[in-house]
Amino acid sequence: VAQTDQTSSTTRLLPFLSLWQRAVIARSTARLDVSMQQTFGTFCQTRRWAADTERTLLVLKGQVPVRDGRVCYAAADASFEGREVVEFATRGKAVSADGMSEEAVRSVLGGDVSWTAPRALLQMLQLVPEAEDEVTSVCSAVSLLMWHNENRFSGIDGSETSIADGGRKRLRGGSSLHPRIDPVAIVLVTSADGSKCLLGRQKRYPKGMFTCVSGFVEHAESVEAAAAREVSEETGVAVSDVLLIGSQPWPIGRGGHCELMLGCTACAKPGGEAIDCTGDGQEGTGELEEARWFSRAEAQAMLEASTTPPSVTAGEATA
């Protein structure tokens, strides 16, 4: 993710997504030798947060409680009898606080808290980088709990379903319902000569923010085909040699659902590098507001700016 640091509170590094993106952009600036493959492998590992004691996370309308810049948990002796419990990480449990009285919630949390959306938790990592594994696990727990809340009744016949295996599935009669995962192809495109990479931005992004092209994999479509289609639809660039190189969960996707980011690389076809973000041919109708080719040096500078705390001059792109 490349972006201009407009304020000191701007999140500079997005875990999940940027971990592999850093590796994939690095891949475009160097030969993929054995050491590079090993480095990329570590970026794609899903670390499991191990709490020092049992922790119970309350989730209220998709938000989590934060106090003093850290996620806070329910008191150890708090009882949630009759409420569904989702297990996460090691010794972690998540419970929905929907329907609980304000007094009851404040009591089990030991005071007032700030209810925070999972995406906003990423900003905490600037001040508390050691909390990355915890935040990752908490975001995953929220996503899983929201899926359970949306599937208490069968979409087929309206019958009630029940939680099972610590939240890994729900049961409906003799059949199982498994958590929803939306596959997303996200691709770093290099120019035909390998000297530049393609990044784009949507209008809703902060000024100066660019990302790799991405989009949902459609029904009966391969990841490679989805990556090529999204690049063509969003930028007009024609690509070939699409290669799936890794995956990473993104549990705070659209609507709070969990997405599986499928990282690809691709190469623009000779003569197919012209950019057209107009969608149906009319200015402003495309999904992307802008797409640009960035040189290797620019991409490297953006990555370095993104992973170092000092502020950046307004207007300077960072990754």
pLDDT, tens digit (0-9, with 9 covering 90-100), for 121-176: 877 777 787 888 899 899 999 999 999 999 999 999 999 999 999 999 999 988 99
Q: Please answer whether residues 91 and 50 qualify as being in contact, where contact means their C-beta atoms are separated by less than 8 angstroms.
A: yes
Give the whole-angstrom CA distance, residue 176 versus residue 94: 21
**Sheet of 169-172, strands arranged across:** 162-164, 169-172, 175-177
- Residue 282 is predicted with a pLDDT of 55
How far, in Å, CA of 253 to CA of 58, rounded? 20
* Position 59 pLDDT exceeds 70: yes
The predicted structure's pLDDT at residue 81: 93
Tokens representing residue 231 in the block: 């690049």
- Decide if pLDDT at 120 tops 80: yes
User: Average pLDDT, stretch 112-124?
Assistant: 89
The average pLDDT across 191-217 equals 90
Beta strands in the chain (DSSP E): 50-59, 64-67, 70-71, 85-88, 90-96, 114-116, 162-164, 169-172, 175-177, 181-190, 196-201, 213-216, 239-250, 258-268, 290-295
Query: How many CB atoms neighbour CB 265 within 10 A?
Result: 23
Query: Which residues sit opposite 59 in a β-bridge?
Result: 96
pLDDT in tens, 186-198: 999 999 999 999 9
Amino acid identity, position 155: G
Q: At what angle do helices 34-43 and 17-28 cross, to 10 degrees?
A: 160
Q: What's the pLDDT band for 47 if we cut at 50, 70, 90?
A: low
Give the list of residues 6+ apart from residue 162 with CB closer than 8 angstroms, or none: 170, 171
Name the pairing type of β-strands 181-190 and 258-268: parallel
- Across 223-234, average pLDDT: 97
pTM (predicted TM-score): 0.79
What's the confidence (pLDDT) of residue 218?
Answer: 97
Of 304, 276, 306, 271, residue with least CA distance to 292 = 276
Both tokens of 93, joined, read: 């449990």
Q: Coil, strand or helix: which one is 131?
A: helix
C-alpha to C-alpha distance for 189 and 227, rounded to whole angstroms: 10
Q: Chain-centre distance of CA 96, in angstroms?
A: 22
Lowest-pLDDT range of 13-17, 73-77, 238-242: 13-17
Q: What is the pLDDT of residue 44?
A: 43
CB 51 within 8 A of CB 69: no
Greater confidence (219 vs 120) lies with: 219
Q: Is 44 exposed, middle or buried (0-12, 13-18, 19+ CB in 10 A)?
A: middle
pLDDT at position 37 over 70: no
Say which residue, 40 or 219, is predicted with more confidence.
Answer: 219
What pLDDT is stored for residue 14 in this prediction? 34
Q: Contact at 8 Å (CB) between 96 and 145?
A: yes
301 burial via Cβ count (<10 Å: 0-12, 13-18, 19+): middle
Domains and CATH numbers, the chain: 17-45+180-306 (3.90.79.10), 50-177 (3.90.79)
